[in-house]
Amino acid sequence: MLSHFLVLSGLWVAMGAVLGLLIAAATGRKSARLLLAGSGLALSAGWLGVWLLGTPFATPWSLWVTLLGLFLLARFVPAFRLNR
């Protein structure tokens, strides 16, 4: 059971890193902040999804929360602004 959650955690971190890299590439910025923010958001959203929704729905929940979180970070937080 523990190895199952370790695999899920690795999947969420990798998914968040890929989403962060995609957003950084789409905006033309080379920033490690989006990579780290995506990984952290995906991991925390995945564990929140396990706690609230259960294991089968945790990964889709993590995907959408990470996308929304990265969008809001890029839009409203000055350190992540796209038009700096």
The amino acid occupying position 65 is: V
Structural domain including 65 reads 2-80
Q: What local confidence, expressed as pLDDT, does residue 1 receive? A: 67
Backbone torsion region of residue 54, taken as left when φ is above 0, otherwise alpha when ψ lies between -120 and 50, otherwise beta: left
Q: What local confidence, expressed as pLDDT, does residue 84 receive? A: 52
CA pair distance 23, 7, nearest whole angstrom: 24
CA pair distance 8, 6, nearest whole angstrom: 5
In terms of pLDDT, which residue wins out, 14 or 80? 14
The count of structural domains within the chain is 1
Q: What local confidence, expressed as pLDDT, does residue 58 receive? A: 94
The mean pLDDT value of the chain amounts to 87
Q: What is the average pLDDT across 11-19? A: 95
With 0.75 as the threshold, say if the pTM is over it.
Answer: yes
Q: What local confidence, expressed as pLDDT, does residue 62 receive? A: 96
Both structure tokens of 13? 């971190």
